[in-house]
Amino acid sequence: DAGITQSPRHKVTETGTPVTLRCHQTENHRYMYWYRQDPGHGLRLIHYSYGVKDTDKGEVSDGYSVSRSKTEDFLLTLESATSSQTSVYFCAISEGGPGELFFGEGSRLTVL
């Protein structure tokens, strides 16, 4: 199994609070992705990174920011969480760009 860990795995928070999800990999893969999964929408790309300090927006980036200060960590931050951001968040990594992605186990976030 690819060495990819998400934390926390579960979080309940209140509207307006900041939240940071962490994705940690031990594979030294260049590409890292954050997706959210919601019923009826499948997986939607939030942000992705193609190298240290190199990030770009995905389909649903509003309300989210990311940082990648080192190869192994990709952080997703919700500056002020809203109920619409209640979702399951998945981190994924790949060595050569899109295609065969390795996914983490997911982080379930509930915003009350």
Partner 1 sequence: SQELEQSPQSLIVQEGKNLTINCTSSKTLYGLYWYKQKYGEGLIFLMMLQKGGEEKSHEKITAKLDEKKQQSSLHITASQPSHAGIYLCGADDGDSSYKLIFGSGTRLLVRP
Binding site for partner 1 (CB under 8 A): 31, 33, 35, 40-45, 48, 50, 56, 58-59, 90, 92, 97-106
- Smallest CA-to-CA distance from 75 within 7, 16, 4 is with 7
Name which of 14 and 59 has its Cβ closer to partner 1: 59
Residue number, 79 or 100, with CB nearest to partner 1: 100
State both tokens at 48.
Answer: 């992705």
CB of 92 to partner 1, least distance (A): 8
CB of 6 to partner 1, least distance (A): 9
Least distance between partner 1 and beta carbon 11 (Å)? 16
What HEC string does 25-67 produce? ECCCCCEEEEEEEECCCEEEEEEEEEECCEEEECCCCCCEEEE
Q: Which helix (H) or strand (E) holds 108?
A: strand 107-111
Specify the residue, 58 or 63, whose C-beta has the smaller distance to partner 1.
58
